[in-house]
Amino acid sequence: AQKVTQAQTEISVVEKEDVTLDCVYETRDTTYYLFWYKQPPSGELVFLIRRNSFDEQNEISGRYSWNFQKSTSSFNFTITASQVVDSAVYFCALSEPYSGNTPLVFGKGTRLSVIA
Amino acid sequence: EAQVTQNPRYLITVTGKKLTVTCSQNMNHEYMSWYRQDPGLGLRQIYYSMNVEVTDKGDVPEGYKVSRKEKRNFPLILESPSPNQTSLYFCASSSSGVEKQYFGPGTRLTVT
């Protein structure tokens, strides 16, 4: 079973629209970590956020916000007032440090295109 | 400047010709890993290393080897490359497996 599901393969929005990227994860561990990474067209991978399973507080960083809900096993990412520079592939990832499995599993990514 | 370097950045090779992709980090990180990125499949972990001389398989280890003789270096070895190993490869490092990872710039490998 897929441990990290990003159901939206591609999203296209017009500049200044808000957009939410979904991430649903699967784990039996009580201790785990969730991440979001951004891959702009230039190809590098950029860390955005890390959240541990004991901290359900939502986080806001400028136009970016993250909604972590353990009840629905989701860690969604919202960009407010999107800009062309937000165009990228966004990856959600899960780390289960005590499960004995590989430490980091990525979703397949969501390609976001912001049109001017 | 904190960074992860990979070499080469681009490589075209033929089936069966052994190759090594180097990875080096200057942050004294204990944890290093290799990923491959393929269209529609996201990033999949090949191998990871928790410390010197400690390596373990990721999700897709077949056809790859790694070694961790020094803390800063984590080379990826393809003993007999095949066309299905054509991919974009990323090396990453972090202070531990649950901290944010710093990624290298990527190596685009084509095996014909």
Query: Across the 116 residues of chain A, what is the mean pLDDT of every consecutive 10-residue run?
Result: 88 97 93 95 94 88 94 96 97 84 83 97
Neighbours of A19 (CB within 10 A): 19
Q: Which residue has the tokens 């939206």?
A: A8
Residue A58 has a pLDDT of: 86
Residue A101 has a pLDDT of: 56
| Cα A106 from Cα B56, distance rounded (Å) | 18
Question: Among B106, B2, B61, B42, which Cα is nearest to A36's?
Answer: B42
Q: Indicate the residue type of B75.
A: P
Residue A2 has a pLDDT of: 61
> Mean pLDDT, to the nearest integer, of B53-73?
95
Residue B80 has pLDDT above 60, yes or no: yes
For A1-116, strand residue ranges (E) read 4-5, 10-14, 19-21, 24-25, 33-39, 46-52, 59-61, 64-69, 74-79, 88-95, 105-106, 110-115
**B31 contacts in A (CB within 8 Å)?**
103
Tell me if A44 and B103 make a contact (CB, 8 A cut-off). Answer: yes
If you count residue pairs, one on A and one on B, with CB atoms under 8 Å apart, how many are there?
57
| Cα B104 from Cα B3, distance rounded (Å) | 7
Residue B2 has a pLDDT of: 86
**What residues of chain A have any CB closer than 8 angstroms to a CB in chain B?**
6, 9, 33, 35, 43-45, 47, 50, 52, 91, 93, 95, 97, 102-109
Q: Which residue of A has its CA nearest to B103?
A: A45
Residue A81 Cα distances to A20, A56, A62, angstroms: 11, 24, 10
Tell me if A47 and B100 make a contact (CB, 8 A cut-off). Answer: yes
Question: Among A93, A92, A91, A61, which Cα is nearest to A79's?
Answer: A61
Residue A21 has a pLDDT of: 98
Residue B52 has pLDDT above 60, yes or no: yes
Q: Picking from A60-69, A98-107, B40-49, B54-63, which range would have the lowest pLDDT averaged per residue?
A: A98-107
H/E stretch holding B4: strand B4-7
Q: Which residue of A has its CA nearest to B34?
A: A104
Q: Pick the more confident residue, B41 or A112.
A: A112
- If you average pLDDT over every residue of chain B, what do you get? 95
Residue A3 Cα distances to A25, B77, B84, angstroms: 5, 28, 24
For B42, which of A33, A44, A108 is closest by C-beta distance? A108
The 10s digit of each residue's pLDDT in B88-108 is 999 999 998 888 999 999 999
Residue A102 has a pLDDT of: 60
| Cα A84 from Cα B5, distance rounded (Å) | 28
**B30 contacts in A (CB within 8 Å)?**
none
Neighbours of A65 (CB within 10 A): 17
CB of A5 within 8 A of CB of A25? yes
Residue A98 has a pLDDT of: 73
Neighbours of A25 (CB within 10 A): 22
